[in-house]
Structure 1
Amino acid sequence: MGLTSHDTNLLNHLFLFSTIFLGLSSARDTITPSQFITDSETVTSSDNVFKLGFFSPANSTNRYAGIWYLSDTNIIWIANRNQPLKDSSGILKISEDGNLVVLDGNKSEVVWSSNVSNAANSSTFQAQLLHSGNLVLIDNTTGKTLWESFKHPCDAAVPTMRISANRNTGERIRFISRKSVSDVSTGEFSATIERLDAPEVFFWINGTRPYWRTGPWNGRIFIGTPMMSTGYLYGWGVGYEGNETVYLTYSFADPSKFGILSLTPQGNLRLVRFYNQIEVLNMVLENSKCDVYGLCGAFGSCNVKNSPICSCLSGYEPRNLEEWNKQNWTSGCLRKEPLKCERLKKNRSEVGQEDNFLKLGMMKVPDFAERLDVEEIQCGTQCLKNCSCLAYAYDAGIGCMYWSGDLIDLQSFSSAGVDLFIRLAHSELGNAENRTDRRRSKRLVIALAVATATITLAICAYLAICAYRSLKRTAKHSEIQSQRMIEVPKPDKLDELPLYDFEVLETATNNFHLANTLGKGGFGPVYKGLLPDGQEIAVKRLSRASGQGQEEFMNEVVVISKLQHRNLVRILGCCIEGDEKMLIYEFMPNKSLDAFIFDPLQRKNLNWTRRFSIIDGIARGLLYLHRDSRLRIIHRDLKASNILLDGDMIPKISDFGLARIFKGEDEVNTKRVVGTYGYMSPEYAMEGLFSEKSDIYSFGVLLLEIASGKRNSSFRNDEESLSLIGFAWKLWNEDNIKSLIDPEISASGFEKQILRCIHIAFLCVQEVAKDRPFMTTVVLMLNSENSNLPPPKQVAFVQKRSPSIFKSSRSKENHCNSNNHVTLTDIQGR
């Protein structure tokens, strides 16, 4: 059938419409004179990461044109920050004079303009949102960039953006804070780069009064900003354009990383970091009182650990003692004794010993540093030759710095900083050194006195305890012998633990009735018991059929009897009579973690706040075992069923039958691999090597289980070859890790913290043991949003491994039966 003229016209119109539509779609990252955006539209960068459009801040109905990263909660630039639109009538377009403008659609007035003065024929212009987040106005005829948002920042800096200053013109790119979270207009705090010979960043109040400063840049860090040494602010660098412009910028070598550093309405810095477009860090770098510029006045030094925080430098005294005593330090300090060169100016015939320098360690150097192009060894010599030189310092990245005016804005750090040498008259130098020596001597005397008293008390206490235990053991032994002959192996290891009679425990557990069973592990069953005095207990009874025997029993007695921590289960005593071996613990009414986390009904009662508290408790218990206890303990069987929960849901690590005491070794090899498959680290399961990092691996598996509500050992999904770790790792690499979160907590409002815990879990289960963090670092990462999380490397056991694989490989290596090498635990709690 042929087409009619009507059909032909219809097809032509459709073709024309589709061409225009496709053309618009392909130009989503640009604005042209013929294409503008209204309040409901956005322009998107080519990588789909940045958007340009209209937004309202929190708790405000005002509308602003701005650029954001991923969502409008991450605003990096605002056009009309001081001219808000009151409704959604705004339009962002290229005007006839070639400027990028924001219009109030109702009033048809310009509320913001890029103010390009040399704009020409606007028909060749376009505004493009780059994948860096920079909005550029380009003349397509010449290819020249006429204007860019990166050179007109607001309160936020992102990678490749610059804060700069021009030596000749004095022109500066400055960042200015908001007035408040809901009011994005220019606030009272701003930041610029200053002191261009030794560049540093200054933060100002109302653009004129210094608020705080970073100290000079040494090629790696700002030496007056200790937080830069922590790694939170890595990636920064100072650059130069010819001899005129000095600029500060930062970038990441890894393109999957992104950061936003903003100046808060309170004058602090906020750092938000992303990895693979997931927020991994959100922290405010708060200033201390000592960061306030010139708080202690001229020749005064500030130390946040002192009280009062301000003090005069050695050789100086308060200029106004009355004000100083009222903690008004602004008038600063005066030199007590004039320098020799000052005296010579008044009396050229006077002789005396030369001035010299007193070293002040870990200092923030004063403002207004001057520089000398000399080696370190000459820095002090040159300063001494110059009567106006009052102090000097040397940093390998900066060189020789000296000061000839008032020493202002000094601060003493507990770490970081540099050595500052202040010039004193010879007599004052001696006094200062004597005062320092006296302070050291006084501290030494106090320390010795405290140590002596402590040792004396400890000896007395030890003797008293020994005498008490001796009497108690004698009485107990007599009582036991009158009732039943008891076979007590290695009694020297039981002297710290109360002994219970078998008959007492038999009665307490109703003859070990099945109804009183709390759980069952590789050691044997655990029963609930009630002592005659009403105390509830848990009785762990070694099964005669158990693959574990006296070695594990004695190991647990020795290990746990010496440990005291709120996150470790407390042992009350033991019973050894004939073939019977039992351990008596405090009773945990909420049984074990697996009874909650893997139960479809019970886990509804385990919100994220409670889960995180459990995670934190387990981490602190492990930290105690690894670092803080009298013995250095490797647990070797950390799993959900070995985490008991008391009445307040406080977690208690239990089951120390497989634990090992370390004696300073980094790694130990064993021919007998014990533990639970799924929680074993690869180096332990495959090679018999265990260390602290073995427990770290198990902790990482626990973290994934708690966050997902899925059991590692019985994990099932459509891809049968994947373990829980493998499945989580796949989701992580697909940028879909949120789907791993247990639906019971996914809408809890704590998504960032949950994702952070999953990130930490991946760090813990990395394949190579040395890549895993120590427990000290894990606790820090869990409890501080300030800690920067590195990207995880390849994790272990991505594919499922069955116990039979390990058994066969282990039996081949060691030629021994592997049946007793594995702890298999029922689902029931303790």
Structure 2
Amino acid sequence: MNLLFIIPIFGFCYFAPIHALITHPPLSPMADPVLPTQKKPPFSQIPTQNQAVSPGSSEIRVVHHEDLNKRILVALIVASSLLVAILILLSCLWIYRLKRSKKSNIENAQQSQDTSKGLSLGPILDKFNPLRMTGKKGSVTVIEYEWLVSATNNFHEDNVIGHGAFGSVYKACFNDHFLAAVKRIHVAGPDAHRAFENEISCLSRIQHQNIVNLLGYCIHGDTRFLVYEMMPNGSLESQLHGPSHGASLSWQQRMKVALDIARGLEYLHERCTPPVIHRDLKSSNILLGSNFNAKLSDFGLAITGGIHGKNNIKLSGSLGYVAPEYLLDGKLTDKSDVYAFGVVLLELLIGRKPVEKMSPSQCQSIVTWAMPQLTDRSKLPNIVDPVIRDTMDLKHLYQVAAVAVLCVQPEPSYRPLITDVLHSLIPLVPTELGGSLRVTES
């Protein structure tokens, strides 16, 4: 009971003036909602419309605290929501950067898997003469002639690994761990000089996992030298038509080679600015790495731009790979490279050379010979290279034959773009070889 007396008096004294408490008489029981004789709690009664509420009454203070608590609660909820949103955003950014990093690492690994078994070119290139020939998107190192002589054992015949249109290719050993290929070009005329300058110009601005890397060049008198990365398994021509006759290339490896070539051409046609037409695609210009990954080489005849005719280019190329419109009318487009790709695809499929001698005065093209049988499903399995015959799914064989037929169409407009060819080959190559085919063991 003593507490009931103290609380209302304390509240009233807190808000009312002191002189009012002294001069005025006590309020009547009807005016005071809480008297010592009443048993109701001091804060239980809610004032009605007829009752005057003091500005500092306890009820007003209670409502004020409840509103403040609500505001604090709302502020905490909003702050928590913002914090969660920030954490989610940071997590998404971290995951995105992680995926980009993994993708970049995979691409870098694919590009470097053939360079001297993972050895860096830095220690080798550091020994080169510091002179540079700067291109639009890169530079090519100038190599000292004496170093080439030492690396090739004075260009000994035992180090010859190939022959080109303007000279031979030598194996060069720069130290115990690093090998390279050196092409020696005898500049006997303007064509050889133009091819040398053109190859440097193209390869100095082209970087792709399916295009051979140019490490440097050298000029010594009338002789020019181009130094490339070493491709251990030589050219596709030597693998298919050499002593082994394609025994080292299974069906899946041949499809991987075809896919790599298509990727290289797709980069030249669709991703280079301006586009590049290789113009001399053939099996001898397709080099094979340690895992039979293929790279395009020999860009001496490559040109940039769109359609070219007789008036602005000189007719050249390799017999059996030249497109009909280029041979007859001198018209050169990216579809000319597609035709040559179709011939290479037939080589992989059939195992025969693009042109074979029937007699001393007569030759036969692989396209002319194979075309009637490629479209006949009953005859197609019989013309496949005996090394890979009966080792593939017939459905895949028919699909590859259909792609080859489209690529070697006489009319350029009937040939597909190399991008379409690429997307047609990806499902035929196992995932471990760079395609999307999932091979199931029987």
The TM tier, using the shorter chain, reads 0.5 to 0.7
What is the 5 A alignment of 1:410-559?
476-477=130-131, 493=135, 496-532=139-175, 534-545=177-188, 548-559=191-202
Aligned to 2:338: 696
Aligned to 2:215: 572
Distance apart, 1:660 and its partner CA: 0.5
**RMSD of aligned residue pairs (Cα, Å):** 2.6
Q: Using the alignment, how far apart are the partners of 2:190 and 2:385 within structure 1?
A: 36
- Of the three residues 685, 691, 701, the one matched with 2:327 is 685
Aligned to 1:603: 246
Q: What amino acid maps onto 1:704 in structure 2? A: L
- Of the three residues 398, 412, 429, the one matched with 1:755 is 398
Aligned to 1:710: 352
Q: Do the aligned partners of 1:523 and 1:548 also contact (CA within 8 Å) in 2?
A: no
Distance apart, 1:653 and its partner CA: 0.6
Deviations 1:549-592 (A, max 9, x none): 21110100000111111111111011123323111000111110
Distance apart, 1:753 and its partner CA: 1.5
Q: Using the alignment, how far apart are the partners of 1:546 and 1:527 within structure 2?
A: 22
Q: Using the alignment, how far apart are the partners of 2:199 and 2:254 within structure 1?
A: 28
Distance apart, 1:547 and its partner CA: 7.3
Q: Using the alignment, how far apart are the partners of 2:382 and 2:266 within structure 1?
A: 30
Distance apart, 1:630 and its partner CA: 4.2
Q: Using the alignment, how far apart are the partners of 1:570 and 1:537 within structure 2?
A: 10
What is the 5 A alignment of 1:324-473?
none
Distance apart, 1:525 and its partner CA: 0.7
Q: Do the aligned partners of 1:519 and 1:527 also contact (CA within 8 Å) in 2?
A: yes
Q: Using the alignment, how far apart are the partners of 1:737 and 1:546 within structure 2?
A: 46
Aligned to 2:230: 587
Give the SS at the match of 2:252: helix
Q: Do the aligned partners of 2:282 and 2:344 also contact (CA within 8 Å) in 1?
A: yes
Give the SS at the match of 1:605: coil
Q: What amino acid maps onto 1:684 in structure 2? A: Y
Aligned to 1:672: 314
Aligned to 2:257: 614
Aligned to 2:114: none
Deviations 1:603-637 (A, max 9, x none): 12211011111111111111011112344110000
**Given the superposition, is the C-alpha separation of residues 629 and 504 from structure 1 closer, same or farther in structure 2, using an over 3 Å criterion?**
same
**Given the superposition, is the C-alpha separation of residues 681 and 511 from structure 1 closer, same or farther in structure 2, using an over 3 Å criterion?**
same
Higher relative contact order (CA 8 A, sep 6+): 2
**Given the superposition, is the C-alpha separation of residues 594 and 766 from structure 1 closer, same or farther in structure 2, using an over 3 Å criterion?**
same
Aligned to 1:636: 279
Q: Using the alignment, how far apart are the partners of 1:715 and 1:750 within structure 2?
A: 32
What is the 5 A alignment of 1:711-790?
711-714=353-356, 716=358, 722-732=364-374, 735=377, 736-784=379-427
Q: Using the alignment, how far apart are the partners of 2:356 and 2:135 within structure 1?
A: 39
Q: Using the alignment, how far apart are the partners of 2:373 and 2:358 within structure 1?
A: 15
Q: Using the alignment, how far apart are the partners of 2:160 and 2:405 within structure 1?
A: 36
Give the SS at the match of 2:269: helix
Give the SS at the match of 1:620: helix
What is the 5 A alignment of 1:70-469?
none
Give the SS at the match of 2:142: coil
Q: Using the alignment, how far apart are the partners of 2:214 and 2:158 within structure 1?
A: 23
Give the SS at the match of 1:758: helix
Q: TM-score, normalised by structure 2?
A: 0.63
Q: Using the alignment, how far apart are the partners of 1:704 and 1:501 within structure 2?
A: 42
Distance apart, 1:752 and its partner CA: 2.2
Q: Which runs of 5+ in 2 are unaligned?
A: 1-92, 94-125, 429-442
Q: Which has the higher helix share?
A: 2
Q: Using the alignment, how far apart are the partners of 1:703 and 1:563 within structure 2?
A: 24
**Given the superposition, is the C-alpha separation of residues 612 and 527 from structure 1 closer, same or farther in structure 2, using an over 3 Å criterion?**
same
**Given the superposition, is the C-alpha separation of residues 628 and 715 from structure 1 closer, same or farther in structure 2, using an over 3 Å criterion?**
farther
Q: Which has the higher strand share?
A: 1
Aligned to 2:289: 646
Distance apart, 1:533 and its partner CA: 6.5
Distance apart, 1:724 and its partner CA: 1.2
Q: Using the alignment, how far apart are the partners of 1:721 and 1:559 within structure 2?
A: 34
Larger radius of gyration: 2
**Given the superposition, is the C-alpha separation of residues 547 and 711 from structure 1 closer, same or farther in structure 2, using an over 3 Å criterion?**
farther
Q: Do the aligned partners of 2:375 and 2:402 also contact (CA within 8 Å) in 1?
A: no
Q: Do the aligned partners of 1:700 and 1:761 also contact (CA within 8 Å) in 2?
A: yes
Give the SS at the match of 2:180: strand
Distance apart, 1:723 and its partner CA: 2.1
Deviations 1:40-67 (A, max 9, x none): xxxxxxxxxxxxxxxxxxxxxxxxxxxx
Deviations 1:479-501 (A, max 9, x none): xxxxxxxxx9xx55497111100
Q: Using the alignment, how far apart are the partners of 1:753 and 1:733 within structure 2?
A: 14
**Given the superposition, is the C-alpha separation of residues 734 and 492 from structure 1 closer, same or farther in structure 2, using an over 3 Å criterion?**
closer
Distance apart, 1:661 and its partner CA: 1.2
Q: What amino acid maps onto 2:314 in structure 1? A: R
Percent identity between the aligned chains? Answer: 36
Q: Do the aligned partners of 1:608 and 1:750 also contact (CA within 8 Å) in 2?
A: no
Q: Using the alignment, how far apart are the partners of 2:248 and 2:375 within structure 1?
A: 31
Distance apart, 1:778 and its partner CA: 0.6
Q: Using the alignment, how far apart are the partners of 2:412 and 2:206 within structure 1?
A: 26
**Given the superposition, is the C-alpha separation of residues 654 and 560 from structure 1 closer, same or farther in structure 2, using an over 3 Å criterion?**
same
Deviations 1:81-137 (A, max 9, x none): xxxxxxxxxxxxxxxxxxxxxxxxxxxxxxxxxxxxxxxxxxxxxxxxxxxxxxxxx
Q: Using the alignment, how far apart are the partners of 1:516 and 1:547 within structure 2?
A: 28
Q: Using the alignment, how far apart are the partners of 1:622 and 1:600 within structure 2?
A: 28
Distance apart, 1:757 and its partner CA: 1.1
Deviations 1:174-198 (A, max 9, x none): xxxxxxxxxxxxxxxxxxxxxxxxx
Distance apart, 1:671 and its partner CA: 4.6
- Of the three residues 653, 661, 679, the one matched with 2:304 is 661
Q: Do the aligned partners of 1:590 and 1:649 also contact (CA within 8 Å) in 2?
A: yes
Q: Using the alignment, how far apart are the partners of 2:376 and 2:337 within structure 1?
A: 28
Q: Using the alignment, how far apart are the partners of 2:226 and 2:374 within structure 1?
A: 43
Q: Using the alignment, how far apart are the partners of 1:600 and 1:608 within structure 2?
A: 19
Q: Using the alignment, how far apart are the partners of 1:671 and 1:657 within structure 2?
A: 13
What is the 5 A alignment of 1:22-41?
none
Deviations 1:620-667 (A, max 9, x none): 1110111123441100000000000111111011000000111xx344
Q: Using the alignment, how far apart are the partners of 1:605 and 1:761 within structure 2?
A: 22
Deviations 1:290-319 (A, max 9, x none): xxxxxxxxxxxxxxxxxxxxxxxxxxxxxx
